[in-house]
């Protein structure tokens, strides 16, 4: 028997645990600034004379940094703690945003457009902002997951991710109040206000030990329990129909709860030996004594469930990223179509409004879906995977609203619904990852799942940009703006609007792209229903 290192740990709602949660939320708040990109993307494109497709490539570079390096930072955070990711986040965010600001301030000089070398540097700077953002988020998520019990995983991690979603609203509001319309000042704010908090977090972001809270142990009068490695490899042996583990001596330990003298333990021990000798790894892992599996590394990529959820997230997050990266261009197109008295300052206000609305929706979605996920699991006793059906339905509604909107004044309906859907997706995912693949490697596995948006995000965003470019290049300067207004694009050119870089034909600029993403969301809903049914059948089998 090993005496628990969790004895005497703070209670679940202790000051230390709440302080850790608040600190994690603040770190996440400073890590979600990639969602602000659409607030300055049109201005950046106009200043540097780059096309819509290139603007989307820059935005995707930031997303690429977030999703590709998620598994890297996740593995480091799980194995070494949060110090290294936080230092990396500080450097990357500072250099990335300062680099973008410098290029924006310099403009194109005497040239007609930005050079390929300078464009490559711009993409690299955007990549660094994503690299830093995921470093901060991985640290916050890992610390929170290790500080709260399983029954509160969805709620606690959703609160942290809500801070990530609220980031765009927070920074665009500050920008609007103190330096409205000043893109350079916004970039300077992002450079300093995102990097410095990462240094502060080095001294305050620490996981809090979990207390021993198993009622069954106290009821049985057995306060002692054995320990198994938190990073052990789990094997499933079809012939035996049960799971088995082998322990690695050099791994840290977590409590193994249960009656050590029952026959069930003998069976587990026997199958453990068999698994170790046979060396089988089928990519499936069933619960440990704490009812959580432990799937990671190569084993994760051998698990069909991983590819199922990867496909769902790819379709849904790709839809969200396409809208998030281009909502500024959408608002400009609708504003110019319905308002012949176009004004650049007014357009900038509409952009910030959409970004703020999107951020608030994402913030609310992350919290609500975390609560709903816990309710589905603890009260309805259903798999958390069913929450993905709710998320997919929200995405479908958002695309229907976006397709039907024809004026910038009504665009908030589509924006808030998309934000709610996108936030709900990431509010539900961490707890599903824990339920399907275990807690020991949460951040690493969540990082691998974070690769999904690279597929859908790249496909849908580049499609959107190419559609905008095609309609921009085909615009006739005499095209009328607004029904019966008598105004044309030629009238906007006199207002120094770079119409050759911006589509101003209203919903015609982008509606074909939205029809594609609507179908993708319908497919995701069907897969989500299958994921829930599949998980429920598996649970019933055990």
Segment 279-290, tens digit of pLDDT: 333 344 444 445
Q: What number is the average pLDDT over the span 51-72?
A: 84
In a domain, 214, yes or no: no
Which of 209, 235, 263 is at the close of a domain? 209
Contact yes or no for 507/405 (Cβ under 8 A): yes
- pLDDT reported for residue 265: 41
Tell me the three state secondary structure of residue 245.
Answer: strand
Kindly tell me if the per-residue pLDDT of 77 is higher than 60.
yes
pLDDT digits (tens, 9 = 90+) for 118-137: 999 999 999 999 999 989 98
The stretch 59-72 carries a mean pLDDT of 84
* Overall domain count for the chain: 2
337 in Cβ contact with 126 (< 8 Å): no
Contacts of 240 by beta carbon, 8 Å cutoff, 6+ apart: 267, 271, 274
DSSP class of residue 2?
B
Chain segment 239-274, per-residue pLDDT in tens: 333 333 333 334 433 333 333 334 444 443 443 333
Packing angle, helices 183-204 and 153-178, rounded to 10: 140
Query: What phi and psi values does residue 476 have, to the nearest 5 degrees?
Result: -95, 130
The whole-number pLDDT of residue 127 equals 94
Domain span at residue 303 reads 292-473+501-541
User: Higher pLDDT residue, 119 or 235?
Assistant: 119
- Which of the listed residues 149, 176, 209 is the one where a domain comes to its end? 209
At residue 89 the predicted structure's pLDDT band, cuts being 50, 70 and 90, is very high
The pair of structure tokens assigned to 340 is 């012949």
Distance CA(154)–CA(132), nearest Å, equals 24
First to last CA, the chain: 28
CATH of the domain at 524: 1.20.1250.20
Per-chain mean pLDDT for the chain: 74
61, 189: one domain: yes
Q: How far is CA 428 from CA 115, 365, 384, in A?
A: 42, 9, 8
Q: Domain for residue 365, yes or no?
A: yes
pLDDT for the residue 292: 63
Mean pLDDT value across residues 21-30: 89
Which among 38, 321, 36, 355 is positioned nearest to 189, based on CA atoms?
Answer: 36
Same domain flag for 319 and 422: yes
Given 209, 240, 264, the domain boundary residue is 209
Distance CA 379, CA 366 (A): 20
Examine residue 227 and state whether it is found in any structural domain, yes or no. Answer: no
The DSSP result for 78-133, as a single string, is HHH-SHHHHHHHHHHHHHHHHHHHHHHHHTTTTSSS--HHHHHHHHHHHHHHHHHH
pLDDT band at 324 (very low <50, low <70, confident <90, very high): confident
Phi, psi of 487 (to 5 degrees): -95, 155
Regarding whether 312 and 190 lie in a shared domain, the answer is no
Least confident of 51-65, 282-296, 335-349: 282-296
How many angstroms separate the most distant Cα atoms in the chain? 87
- Across the range 348-377, mean pLDDT stands at 80
Residues 343, 335: Cα–Cα separation, whole Å: 9
Interatomic CA distance for residues 158 and 84, integer angstroms: 24
Structure tokens at 256: 């193994």
> How sure is the predictor about 501, in pLDDT bands with cuts at 50, 70 and 90?
low
Cα–Cα distance, 320 to 77 (Å, whole number)? 27
Question: Do 299 and 182 have their domain in common?
Answer: no
- Which is more confident, 232 or 27? 27
Give the integer Cα–Cα distance in Å for 388 and 426.
10
Whether residue 175 lies inside any domain: the answer is: yes
Whether 320 is in a domain gets the answer yes
Q: Which two tokens stand for residue 508?
A: 């015609």
Say if 276 falls within a structural domain.
no
Does 441 map to a domain? Answer: yes
Distance CA 389, CA 526 (A): 8
Report if residue 41 sits inside a domain.
yes
Residue 189: predicted pLDDT: 93
Tokens 């040239």, residue located: 111
Mean per-residue pLDDT, 504-514 = 84
Regarding whether 298 and 194 lie in a shared domain, the answer is no
Q: Which DSSP state fits 234?
A: E
Question: What average pLDDT does range 496-505 have in this prediction?
Answer: 56
Helix (H) or strand (E) holding 429: helix 411-437
């920008």: which residue's tokens?
Answer: 175
> What confidence category does residue 498 fall into, taking pLDDT thresholds of 50, 70 and 90?
very low
Identify whether residues 197 and 300 lie together within a single domain: no
**Whether residues 536 and 400 fall in one domain:** yes
């Amino acid at each position: 028997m090993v005496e628990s290192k969790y004895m005497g740990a703070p209670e679940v709602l202790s000051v230390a645990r709440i302080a850790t949660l608040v600190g994690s939320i603040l770190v996440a708040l400073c890590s979600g600034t990639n969602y602000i990109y659409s607030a300055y993307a049109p201005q950046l494109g106009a200043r540097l004379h780059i096309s819509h497709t290139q603007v989307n490539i820059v935005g995707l570079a930031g997303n690429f940094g977030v999703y590709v390096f998620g598994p890297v930072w996740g593995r480091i955070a799980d194995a070494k703690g949060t110090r290294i990711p936080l230092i990396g986040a500080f450097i990357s965010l500072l250099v990335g945003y300062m680099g973008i600001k410098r290029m924006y301030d310099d403009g194109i000089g005497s040239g007609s457009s930005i050079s390929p070398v300078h464009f490559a540097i711009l993409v690299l700077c955007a990549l660094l902002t994503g690299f830093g953002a995921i470093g901060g988020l991985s640290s916050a998520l890992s610390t929170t997951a290790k500080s709260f019990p399983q029954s509160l995983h969805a709620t606690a991690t959703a609160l942290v991710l809500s801070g990530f979603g609220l980031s765009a609203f927070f920074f665009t509001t500050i920008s609007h109040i103190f330096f409205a319309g000043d893109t350079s000042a916004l970039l300077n704010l992002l450079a300093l206000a995102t990097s410095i908090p990462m240094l502060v977090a080095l001294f305050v972001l620490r996981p809090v030990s979990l207390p021993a809270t198993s009622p069954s142990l106290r009821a049985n009068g057995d306060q002692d329990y054995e320990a198994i490695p938190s990073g052990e490899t789990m094997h499933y042996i079809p012939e035996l129909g049960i799971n088995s583990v082998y322990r690695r001596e050099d791994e840290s330990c977590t409590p193994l709860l249960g009656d050590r003298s029952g026959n069930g333990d003998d069976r587990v021990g026997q199958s453990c030996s068999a698994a170790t000798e046979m060396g089988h790894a089928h990519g499936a892992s069933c619960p440990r004594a704490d009812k959580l599996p432990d799937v990671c590394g190569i084993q994760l990529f051998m698990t069909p469930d991983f590819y199922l959820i990867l496909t769902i997230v790819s379709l849904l997050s790709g839809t969200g990223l396409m809208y998030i990266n281009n909502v500024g261009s959408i608002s400009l197109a609708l504003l110019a179509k319905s308002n012949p008295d176009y004004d650049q300052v007014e357009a900038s206000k509409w952009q910030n409004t959409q970004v703020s609305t999107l951020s608030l929706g994402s913030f609310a979605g992350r919290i609500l879906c975390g609560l709903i996920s816990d309710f589905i699991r603890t009260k309805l006793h259903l798999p958390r995977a069913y929450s993905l059906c709710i998320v997919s339905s929200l995405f479908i509604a958002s695309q229907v609203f976006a397709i039907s909107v024809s004026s910038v004044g009504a665009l908030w309906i589509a924006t808030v619904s998309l934000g709610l859907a996108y936030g709900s997706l990431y509010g539900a995912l961490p707890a599903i990852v824990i339920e399907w693949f275990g807690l020991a490697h949460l951040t690493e596995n969540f990082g691998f799942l974070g690769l999904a948006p690279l597929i859908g995000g790249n496909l849908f965003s580049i499609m959107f940009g190419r559609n905008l470019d095609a309609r921009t290049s085909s615009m006739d300067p005499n095209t009328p703006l607004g029904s019966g207004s008598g105004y044309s694009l030629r009238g906007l050119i006199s207002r120094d609007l770079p119409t050759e870089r911006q589509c101003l034909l209203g919903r015609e600029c982008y509606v074909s792209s939205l029809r594609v993403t609507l179908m993708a969301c319908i497919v995701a809903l069907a897969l989500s229903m299958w994921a829930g049914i599949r998980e429920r059948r598996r649970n019933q089998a055990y």
